[in-house]
A = this chain, B = another copy of it.
Amino acid sequence: MAEVQSLEDAVRELVHDGDSVALEGFTHLIPFAAGHEIIRQGRRDLTLIRMTPDLIYDQLIGMGCAGKLIFSWGGNPGVGSLRRFRDAVENDWPRSLEIEEHSHAGMANRYAAGASNLPFAVLRGYLGTELMERSASTVARVECPFTGEELAAVPAIRPDVGIVHAQRADREGNVQLWGIVGVQKEIVLASERSLVTVEEIVDELEPRPGAIVLPTWSVTAVAEAPRGAHPSYAHDYYDRDNGFYQEWDEISRERDGFTRWMEENVL
């Protein structure tokens, strides 16, 4: 049974220095509120995992929370670079950042393997690319035992903590989300501990087209966080704040300006 608690308490109980943490949400339902709480609590040396780091990891990286990043596409969608991510990779600011880089298909399969309690996943991919060499410790070749065909293998990802945002939970902690569902289910099921922030807690989860439900017993903690995905969006609650994604390019351009903005708006 998931414990329904405050965001602050949930993050304090679940996220510790040095943990591997995946805050997922494929463009939709990105758990910004939870990421900000991690920053406020001053976590350090996290291994951050996310297919598309997006602004939330730009902020975590810029604030020095991360020692390592596992990812597959590190841009500001529709805008350009993630400047704090680049500053860390190119100039080790505010600290060096180890990276482990994969393709989207590789990451999605690593999560699915984690959710399935398998040590690895098999896919067509990587062969011929330099990711195969650069991420050699996490990409291998396997041979089909029936056809002899050569395929790529990637190790499962099983984070210490998986965090996602969803539209709703009921009072028992059953979670419902819809729209683009991304890898939300996979990351909750792949993680040792999980936190779901929700737009609202309701008496009953009415069935809706395209919705998936995570039963309360598959989740560790649920916390109410209205607008907790902003500037990302929550389908049927609020739209993506495209303007903020544009502004972020300017806010994050210089180290000082970034730090000041974080102090004023997040800390």
Give A residues with C-beta under 8 Å from B: 117-124, 138, 140-142, 144-147, 149, 151, 153, 155, 207-211
Contact = CB atoms under 8 A, between A and B. Distances in A.
A120 B145 CA distance: 8
Contact of A122 (B120, B138, B140, B141): B120
Count of identical protomers in the assembly = 2
B144 A120 contact: yes
A146 B140 contact: yes
Contacts of A151: 118-119
Contacts of A209: 207-209, 211
A147 B119 CA distance: 7
A155 B207 CA distance: 37
A4 to B, nearest CB: 24
Contact of A153 (B121, B145, B207, B210): B145
Given A145-B153, A209-B208, A124 B117 contact: yes
Interface centre among A144, A147, A208 (most CB of B within 10 A): A144
Contacts of A120: 122, 144-147
Contacts of A208: 209
